Chains A and B, each alone.
Chain A
Amino acid sequence: MQFEPPKLKKHFLDHLEAIVGPDGYSVKNLDRFNYSRDSNFKSTIRIHHSALEPLPDVIVWPKDTRQLQALVRLAIRTKMPMIPFGGGSGVCGGTIAETGGMIVDMKKMYRLLKVDSANLLATAEAGIMGYTLEKELQRKGYTLGHFPSSILCASLGGYLAARSAGQNSTRYGKIEDMVRELEVVTGQGEIVQTRDVENGDGLDLNQIFTGSEGTLGFITRAVLKIYPLAPCQAFRGLRFKNMKTGIEAVRRIMQTGLKPSVVRLYDEIDTLLFMGYKKNKGITEVVKGLASPLKKLFMSTSLWGALSAPKLVSPVLQHLPTGCLLILMHEGVERLVREEQKIIMEICRDLGAEDLGEEPGRVWHEHRYSVSYKASPLFHSGAFIDTIEVATTWDKMEALYSAMLKAMSSHCLVMAHLSHAYPEGGSFYFTFLASLGGLKKSEALYDLIWDKGITACQETGGVISHHHGVGRLKKKYVDREWGGGAALYRRFKDYYDPHGIMNPGKLIELKREKKEKVA
């Protein structure tokens, strides 16, 4: 591969070195290449065909907020784009250096600074990895309650910047519910402190910066709500005849006011894949017979053949007699866990669910982070894969599921599960697989599937992202999503990033986006 050399002048590098020291930055091609993409699948398709994403000019590792502030001021003077980088687990291309510039890897700001057991709050730097943060908290008897499947490779800053939600969000809330205070270095080069404004008036700066994907500034530190570790955990698996009854059960469960930690409802194809796990004993003979061949199909070279005719294959798979699996996880004081399970079982039995015991729930828990790492082998089988996570209210849930399935399944194999549930609605998580052809053909097919899926979502009143964020991937849909409300974000952007250097090309189309780069 040939790399364009970085377009940096010596006096810029001198300034940079004065701020972060000789070991605090890199212009090596290997580093520039490694930081040219995150975990988004369009980049994976491109790299599979030896096509590069735009390369950053330099990667910088600041050690503290003051260093970062000095970097932003240098970038303002030199009109250098700046892109924050946490764990690189993003799947929307939010950290791609679209116009080159400076990748700021936050991982040297990794400390858990304080655990306030009286008020159940933790303060940490943004570069701490999610798993490390959780492990440190658990060692002290607490939990953040934030368990995204990317926990092993995502950072706290990434959680906040991309508005993450963990698998246990039903009980513990989403990242915006956990954040109490932030420290941010804005694109003005200023350090801004936010405060907890809940139940009091004032501008909620936490909610402006959370989800801003580095387009307004760098989140450097956060104060977060924590919980004592639950003394008891319990699991359950239930099978519903179809998605309709499963959705109705989840709605009823959530609207009773109960807060199970995890509620996940899988459609027929997703159920089939789930049931294929070797350790899963809670399966019927019918599913046993089907799961293994399908798994083999997905993991074998014959996959390409199946994916070349999704119009024929999809309807067959969508009508398999597997039923729809519901996974439940309960946490808390034992007496409450038992009562919660009892009430939920009554609701599910009323809707004809079959009790599969605790094994499916335990199996899910055991494998809950592994799904993200199963995608790469599929590329070697001639397929590409991606996921689309959307959300809506209960009255639109079935319509959204059917519309997106219909819109996408002519072009790919598609399956879904209801991944997060709340009293007023929930999130559907679609996984699609399609055949990998040449670069242009694959990119066109990838874009088409996304466009079909997101258009169907918006037409049925859903929101285009529940927890992955927008990045480069979905920004063309955001104006429609926000309508006139986009003017509010643009006003924040004008204020916090007056020089247009903060993560250009992300979140929303900006007319005044500056393409030039002078360093």
Chain B
Amino acid sequence: MFHLHKISLIAVVDPEMRVIDYEQKLNAEGLTSGYRPVTGMQTPLSACLAERTANLFFLKYGGIEELCVGGAVVTPQGVAFPIKDYPRAATGCDLRRVVIGSRGLLGQFREGSLKVFPLPEALVWGLALFEGPEAALEGVRRMVGSFIRPLFVRIMEEKEGSGLLRSLNLSEEAKVVLAFKLGGLKGMVEAEREAVMKLNEADNVLFHWPVRPAEVEVLDQTLIVREPCLDFWTKYAPLAGRNPASPATDGEEALKKYLRENPC
């Protein structure tokens, strides 16, 4: 099952579809899911919904719980119910966000309605060279606080950062390299590029904007495709005002226990 509502930019999908297949179908229509699960593109959407799998591109597109706008759910007791597609409601708890991440305790999606987006008109990699990790963190904070939402950010300290610079034939020595990828409308990406430089102007941060296809390929492959990203959320969540995954509270454990004993 795959159905596209082009006016609302919503795709209705079978959750058993792998993210990579889903993304390819959308790409053929000039669209993207905006979703790169940190568990890899082979992961089925059902697992991402059940586990609330972190999105590598969360800064720009949000997490899976923000991408899901409706669907059809079946509870552990076998009760099936639809959740209509809507952008937002103030009718009690949000059933979509309650079911997502519950590992099936409150239900599983039999059908998912997910937001989709136009493929970015422009994509630009940026490398900012900082004196230390704190300065680099401040650089990301400035970006996010100014609503500049890159697809991806990564801070690389000495060895790793220098290695990346060498692979791009850049001779600078830097203690910390902040790599980020901007995407969107051409005019906005250019404006964001200028704004990022202006935000860091006072600190004399050196920027590189690799544009040659070979450089872009190196960055895409090294940082997005091949990179094991499982610790990504822990590192970058605070920068978006989010807490990295923390253990369940006593209250959450108590509710889980009750729901196991009294399934829906």
Contacts and interface: CB of A to CB of B under 8 A. Distances in A.
A81 B135 CA distance: 54
A304 interface: no
B2 interface: no
Interface string A164-193: 110001010010110011001000001011
Contacts of B89: 163, 391, 463-466
Contacts of B250: 192-193
A211 interface: yes
A333 interface: yes
B98 interface: yes
B75 A180 contact: no
Contact of A199 (B58, B82, B144): B58
B231 interface: no
Contacts of B94: 163, 176, 207, 210-211
Given A119-B238, A203-B106, A335-B191, A420 B251 contact: no
A449 interface: no
Given A195-B249, A487-B264, A466 B194 contact: no
A336 B93 contact: no
Contacts, number: 279
B107 A199 contact: no
A240 interface: no
Range class of the A interface residue count = 35 or more
B188 A483 contact: no
A213 B92 contact: yes
Contact of B87 (A192, A342, A425, A507): A425
Interface in A463-500: 463-470, 474, 478, 481-485, 487-489, 491-492, 494-495
A463 B86 contact: yes
B245 A200 contact: yes
Given A257-B185, A333-B198, A174 B73 contact: no
Contacts of A225: 241-242
B1 interface: no
Given A255-B9, A257-B185, A395-B8, A466 B55 contact: no
Nearest to B237: A199
A462 interface: yes
Given A197-B101, A336-B191, 19 more contacts: A119-B239, A169-B88, A184-B251, A193-B250, A195-B246, A199-B245, A200-B54, A205-B249, A225-B242, A228-B145, A393-B86, A395-B7, A395-B8, A425-B86, A463-B91, A466-B90, A484-B80, A484-B81, A488-B107
Interface of A: 118-121, 162-165, 169, 171, 174, 176-177, 180-181, 184, 190, 192-205, 207-213, 225-228, 251, 255-259, 332-333, 335-336, 338-340, 342-343, 391-395, 420, 422-427, 461-470, 474, 478, 481-485, 487-489, 491-492, 494-495, 507-508
